[in-house]
């Protein structure tokens, strides 16, 4: 995910149509501390536009899904609570 050179190849219609769902780690993939990873929001937008289901995963069970969704939003990444799994 951090390699934005390959972002287009993973999200073009040919590749995206073969993937049924995405499981995406939160820390280090979408955000690092409170900073978004370059390309993360664009990637999620492609998943939404192609109606590709996804879950954002984290092993940080100290916070609720609502807290984590708000943390991501503060970083500029929109992920609804129901798309987060701790």
| pLDDT digit string, tens, across residues 20-70 | 899 999 999 999 988 999 999 999 999 999 999 999 999 988 999 999 999
The neighbouring-strand residues paired with 84 are 56
Q: Taking residues 69-85, what's their average pLDDT?
A: 96
With 90 as the cut, is the pLDDT of residue 5 above it?
A: no
Which listed residue (3, 25, 34, 82) is catalytic? 25
Spatial strand order in the sheet of 84-85:
22-25, 54-57, 84-85
Quick one: tokens of 77? 């990444």
Q: What's the alpha-carbon Rg for the chain, to the nearest Å?
A: 12
Q: Taking residues 7-30, what's their average pLDDT?
A: 75
With 70 as the cut, is the pLDDT of residue 2 above it?
A: no
Q: Is 38 a catalytic residue?
A: no
Cβ(85)–Cβ(57) below 8 Å: yes
Higher pLDDT, 2 or 54: 54
Alpha-helical segments (H) within 1-86: 7-11, 13-16, 40-49, 65-74
Q: Is 27 a catalytic residue?
A: yes
* Domains, in order of start, for the chain: 4-85 (3.40.50.1000)
Read off the pTM.
0.76
Which listed residue (27, 38, 67, 82) is catalytic? 27
């Amino acid at each position: 995910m951090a390699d934005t050179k390959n972002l287009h190849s993973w999200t073009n219609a040919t590749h995206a149509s073969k993937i049924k769902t995405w499981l995406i780690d939160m820390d280090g993939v979408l955000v690092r501390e409170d900073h978004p990873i370059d390309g993360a929001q664009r990637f999620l937008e492609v998943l939404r536009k192609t109606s590709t289901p996804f879950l954002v995963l984290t092993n940080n069970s100290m916070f609720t899904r609502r807290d984590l969704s708000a943390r991501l939003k503060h970083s500029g990444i929109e992920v609804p609570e129901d798309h987060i799994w701790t």
